[in-house]
């Protein structure tokens, strides 16, 4: 006969924890649907009258300081029949499919330069500036991004807002409809590129701003395509 209930009480008493203390500590490990555990529940487990559900049993083991729950619940040489082995497999499968009890991979981080001088999403600001800071980014930043630039102004709202960092892939050319980072007569812009039979224009997403035409005599250069 298993002695798991005696081990629960022995572990609690060894740590000089009251039942109230154990139940309170369990709350940080319990899913919302299982928060109703009480000291009466713990008393019934210690007496061997009832068994905790899997998620509750895991929370109890953690509250008592057991990282390996098998130490608390399984005898030194457990002998499970076929039904018990099947149930153990079901519990394992359920735990592996519950985010709370599975290991999460460490996020992949990388360093990207972010230029300190903002690009305009408005009237135009100087872009060709070497001042930059290396910023650690995670997987939410597209892998093809090569650098970042902060946006100044509201002309690219609602997609891009004032102060937001946009992530850019370096490029010297772009297609019609691409969001580009560019310079026009030494002013830096973040705009939607329009190429048609009328020539090139820089388009704001905010309709209150008029298109900026690129004339033949203008100095125009694309620095990159916004990818995120």
Residue that is written with structure tokens 């007569």 in the block = 185
Which pTM value belongs to this model?
0.53
* CA terminus-to-terminus distance, the chain: 60
Residue 79 pLDDT greater than 70, yes or no: no
Residue 192 pLDDT greater than 60, yes or no: yes
Tell me whether the CATH fold assigned to 4-101 matches the one assigned to 110-226.
no
Proportion of the chain in helix, strand, coil states, percent, rounded to 5: 30, 25, 45
Segments making up each domain of the chain, as ranges: 4-101, 110-226
Q: Which CATH class is domain 110-226?
A: mainly beta
Confidence of residue 124 (pLDDT cuts 50, 70, 90): very low
What would the mean pLDDT of 31-58 be, rounded to a whole number?
Answer: 85
Q: Which of 88-97, 114-123, 150-159 has the lowest mean pLDDT?
A: 114-123
125 contacts: CB under 8 Å, gap ≥ 6:
117, 118, 119, 152, 187, 188
Quote the pLDDT of residue 177: 95
- From the list 124, 156, 194, the residue with the least C-alpha distance to 214 is 194
State which CATH number among 3.10.450, 1.10.260, 1.10.10, 1.20.58 fits the domain covering 4-101: 1.10.260
Confidence of residue 2 (pLDDT cuts 50, 70, 90): low
Residue 50 pLDDT greater than 70, yes or no: yes
Confidence of residue 1 (pLDDT cuts 50, 70, 90): very low
pLDDT (tens digit per residue) in 169-185? 999 999 999 999 988 98
- From the list 157, 202, 142, 143, the residue with the least C-alpha distance to 178 is 202
């Amino acid at each position: 006969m298993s002695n798991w209930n005696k081990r629960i009480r022995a572990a609690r008493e060894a740590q000089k924890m009251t039942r109230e203390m154990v139940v309170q500590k369990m709350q940080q490990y319990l899913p919302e649907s299982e928060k109703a555990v009480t000291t009466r529940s713990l008393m019934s487990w210690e007496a061997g009258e009832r068994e905790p559900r899997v998620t509750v049993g895991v929370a109890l083991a953690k509250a008592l300081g057991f990282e390996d729950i098998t130490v608390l619940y399984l005898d030194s040489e457990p002998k499970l029949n076929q039904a018990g082995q099947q149930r153990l497999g079901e519990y394992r499968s359920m735990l592996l499919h519950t985010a709370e009890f599975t290991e999460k991979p460490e996020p992949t981080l990388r360093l990207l330069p972010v230029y300190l001088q903002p690009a305009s999403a408005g009237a135009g600001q100087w872009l060709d500036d070497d001042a930059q800071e290396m910023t650690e980014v995670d997987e939410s930043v597209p892998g093809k991004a090569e650098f970042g630039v902060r946006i100044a102004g509201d002309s690219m709202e609602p997609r891009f807002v004032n102060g937001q960092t946009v992530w850019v892939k370096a490029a010297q050319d772009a297609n019609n409809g691409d969001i580009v980072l560019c310079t026009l007569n030494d002013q830096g812009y973040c705009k939607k590129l329009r190429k048609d039979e009328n020539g090139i224009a820089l388009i704001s997403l905010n309709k209150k701003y008029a298109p900026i035409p690129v004339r033949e005599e203008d100095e125009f250069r694309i620095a990159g395509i916004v990818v995120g």
